[in-house]
Amino acid sequence: MTIRRRDLLATSALFVLSTASAHALEIFGQLPWSPNAGNPPTPVKPGPWVYFTGAEGRAMEAIADRIIPPDPQTPGGKDAGCAVFLDRQLAGPYGHRDGLYVRPPFQPGAKNQGSQSEAGPAQQYRMALAALDRACKAKYADKEFAALSDADKDTVLKGLESGDLKLDGIDGKAFFEQAIKDIQMGFFADPIYGGNRDMVAWKMIGYPGARYNYLDWIDRHNERFPLPPVSMTGRAEWTPKG
């Protein structure tokens, strides 16, 4: 027996019992709608690491600052919040591989068949960061990665990139490739996710952010777009002064 949607007149303000969102069994008669419908993003809140341990967070910040070093114009990966971004991502659906196909059997395949790892990103980062610190301590007088000089850090990372430096128990080359992607992703994503603090990355490149209307600009060729970037949570100019 089919159950009919009870909101034929959902737009009325007079009816107290309104319907929920679009999860009824059948839809007919009119487009479903309810106020405040939709699923806006939840801003990342600053604070202690949610996924990383203290040591992992230190290592990741240090890696972020070498992947995207600070310079006089633009902060580096650490101050831009890239490690915070990654921490929150690993604590969430990305880290847990929600929605991905994680059924067995797990067999190794060719690179072009995509990752067949049994461990998800959260687990892989945990293993890799631990292995990285172990490798550094072994090579650099018991210093973890974050305690190395910048030059030594770069040497280690280049070693991972080339494959010369191996990590025990995990593919160091694949780990660093992924770290580059994730850190740079955090750099350029909307600040709502914890990285790109104050939109520093967008300011660096001249990207105006989460805008929706360029109708008055499509014909203006070879001109610099003058407005500051805006994120999904707005920009400073949105708040009235005084």
Partner 1 sequence: MHSRRALTIAACAGTLLFLHPLTWAHAGESDPQDFTLVEKGRSLATAADCVSCHTVPGSGKPFAGGRPIETPFGSITAANITPDRDTGIGAWSDDDFDAAVRKGIRSDGARLYPAMPYTAYAKMSRQDVIAIRAYLNTIEPVRNAVVTNTLPFPLNIRMVMRVWDSLYFTEGEFKPDPQQTNEWNRGAFLVQGPAHCGACHTPKSLLGGDKTSEFLQGSPLQGWYAPNITNDATRGLGNWSVADVTAYLKTGHNRISAATGPMAEAVSLSSSKMDDSDLKAIATYLKSLPGRPENAAKLRPDDPMMMAGSAIYRDQCSACHMLDGHGVPHLFPSLAESSVAHSDDPATLIRLILRGARSVATKDEPTAPGMPSFGWQLSDAQVAAVATYIRNAWGTGTPVTPASVTQARSDLRKRAD
Partner 2 sequence: MARKLPKKDVVIVGLGWTGSIMAHELTDEGLDVIAIERGPWRDSPTDFPTNYMQDELRYRIRHELFLRPDQTTFTFRNKMDQTALPIRSWGAFMPPNGVGGGGVHWNAETWRFAPSDFVLKTHLTERYGASFLPDDMTIQDWGITYDELEPHYDQFEYLCGTSGTAGNLNGQIQDGGNPFEGPRSRPYPTPAQKQGYGHTLWAKAAAELGYKPFPQPSGNLSRAYTNPLGLRMGPCTYCGFCEWFGCGNYSKASPQTTILPVLIRKSNFVVRDNSEVTRINTDRSGKRATGVTFVDTSGEEWEQPADLVILSAYSMFNVQLLLLSKIGQPYDPAANTGVVGRNFTHQATSSVDGFFDSSKFNFNPFIASGAIGMCIDEFNGDNFDHGPLGFVGGGYLGQVQTNGRPIETTPVPSGTPKWGPQWKTAVRDNYLSSLKGGSIHASFYSYRDVYLDLDPAYKDRLGRPLMRMTIDFHDNEIKAANYLTDKYAEIVKAMGAHQVDKKPRKGPYDITTYQTTHLNGGAIMGADPKTSVTNRYLQSWDVSNLFVLGASAFPQNAGYNPTGTVAALAYWSAAAIRGQYLKNPGPLVHA
The site for partner 1 (CB under 8 A) is made up of 4-18, 30-31, 33-38, 40, 210-213, 215-216, 227, 230, 232-235, 237-242
Contact with partner 2 (CB under 8 A) among 48, 114, 226, 242: 114
Burial class (CB in 10 A: 0-12, 13-18, 19+), 124: buried
Q: Does 83 bind partner 2 (CB under 8 A)?
A: no
Contact with partner 2 (CB under 8 A) among 10, 55, 91, 180: 180
Residue with tokens 């007079």: 14
Complex with partner 2: residue 141 or 238, whichever CB lies closer = 238
From CA 124, how far away is CA 97, in angstroms rounded? Answer: 12
Backbone angles phi, psi at 230, to 5 degrees: -130, 140
Q: What is the DSSP letter of 99?
A: T
Contact with partner 2 (CB under 8 A) among 84, 189, 197, 200: 189
Query: What Cα–Cα distance (Å) separates residue 193 from each residue in 138, 170, 178, 187, 197?
Result: 35, 28, 18, 10, 9
Contact with partner 2 (CB under 8 A) among 46, 48, 72, 206: 206
Q: Does 2 bind partner 2 (CB under 8 A)?
A: yes
Query: Least distance to partner 1 from the beta carbon of 233, Å?
Result: 7
- The region, left, alpha or beta by phi > 0 then psi within -120 to 50, assigned to residue 205 is alpha
* DSSP assignments along 205-220, one per residue: HT--BS----TTTTT-
Contact assessment for residue 201 and residue 187, using Cβ atoms and an 8 Å cutoff: yes
Positions 125 through 144 that interact with partner 2 (CB under 8 A): none
Query: Least distance to partner 1 from the beta carbon of 15, Å?
Result: 5
Complex with partner 1: residue 9 or 138, whichever CB lies closer = 9
From CA 99, how far away is CA 51, in angstroms rounded? Answer: 20
Complex with partner 2: residue 40 or 46, whichever CB lies closer = 40
By a kind-dependent CB cut-off of 5 to 8 A, residue 107 interacts, out of partner 2, partner 1, none, with partner 2
Complex with partner 1: residue 101 or 212, whichever CB lies closer = 212
Contact with partner 2 (CB under 8 A) among 13, 16, 31, 151: 31
